[in-house]
């Protein structure tokens, strides 16, 4: 989240539930992006009329979209790298094979993570999850500390998959998002992420879809020097348009 004031921007990086200093998902609460969005908004020490820009990656980008739906009057722009709102994929019907294949791909990795967790094998859950997004099995390259860091949040990752699958925003809901949106998608990403980005690009009113050749889903971390300028350029463009208006 980015707010404007004085000579520049202030960046806010709230922890999502089960990550960093934020507690995990409450027992008995459904896995929904609205729950995550409410948690983010509650944790921000901002005046209720403060406007802001939202920047997000993957599950965080999908959460940013949910926040925008809940706080349309406050969100000035969205800059999203592959917002994996998988629930949008089956909405277009079974007559679109590419859409269905992407949905099945996302469901398969979610099911594999859930099965490993049901066996109590956090390492196997993390190995499959990380390998899916990296496009190859990187587990043998990691040391024990790295494996432990990836394995520990896997029960929360299961919640993420459930919330993403339930994100079935209607065309009418998405049409209410009138703020400028920059969608960034890696040219070497997974089909599930690519199809979600393409679907959103067809439904959001003021959207620009930017392809980043040769990179995958983890580019905001692995290729930050390529992704960050696209984020800053969008913020500056929106800021400039506001000043001119």
**CA 29 – CA 52 distance, rounded (Å):** 28
Residue 14 burial (CB < 10 Å; 0-12/13-18/19+)?
A: middle
* Domains contained in the chain, CATH given: 2-91+168-244 (3.40.50.1820), 94-162 (no CATH)
**CB 179 within 8 Å of CB 76:** yes
**CA 153 – CA 176 distance, rounded (Å):** 34
pTM of this structure: 0.94
For each of the chain's 245 residues, which pLDDT tens digit applies?
777 665 678 888 889 998 888 888 888 999 999 999 999 998 887 888 889 999 999 999 999 999 999 999 999 999 999 999 999 998 655 556 777 888 899 999 999 999 999 999 999 999 999 999 999 999 999 999 999 999 999 999 999 999 999 999 999 999 999 999 999 999 999 999 999 999 999 999 999 999 999 999 999 999 999 999 999 999 999 988 876 66
- Alpha-carbon distance values, 138 to 104, 169, 191 (Å): 23, 34, 20
Pairing outcome for strands 181-186 and 207-212: parallel
**CA 204 – CA 172 distance, rounded (Å):** 10
Q: What is the pLDDT of residue 7?
A: 63
């Amino acid at each position: 989240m980015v707010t404007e004031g004085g000579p520049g921007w202030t960046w806010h990086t709230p922890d999502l539930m089960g990550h960093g200093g934020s507690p995990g998902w409450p027992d008995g609460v459904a896995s929904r992006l609205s729950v995550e969005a409410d948690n983010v908004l509650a944790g921000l020490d901002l005046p209720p009329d403060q406007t802001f820009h939202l920047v997000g990656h993957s599950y965080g980008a999908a959460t940013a979209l949910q926040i925008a739906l809940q706080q349309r009057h406050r969100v000035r722009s969205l800059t999203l790298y592959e917002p994996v709102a998988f629930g949008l994929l089956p909405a277009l019907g079974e007559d679109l094979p590419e859409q269905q294949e992407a949905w099945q791909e996302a469901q398969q990795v979610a099911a594999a993570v859930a099965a490993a967790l049901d066996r109590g094998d956090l390492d196997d859950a993390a190995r499959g999850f990380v390998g899916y997004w990296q496009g190859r099995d990187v587990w043998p390259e990691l040391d024990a500390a790295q494996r432990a860091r990836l394995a520990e949040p896997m029960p929360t990752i299961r919640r993420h998959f459930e919330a993403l699958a339930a994100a079935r925003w209607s065309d009418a809901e998405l049409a209410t998002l009138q703020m400028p949106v920059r969608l960034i998608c890696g040219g070497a990403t997974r089909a599930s992420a690519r199809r979600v980005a393409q679907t959103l690009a067809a439904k959001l009113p003021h959207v620009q879809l930017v392809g980043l050749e040769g990179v995958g889903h983890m580019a905001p971390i692995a290729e930050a020097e390529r992704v960050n300028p696209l984020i800053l350029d969008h913020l500056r463009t929106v800021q400039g348009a506001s000043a001119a208006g």
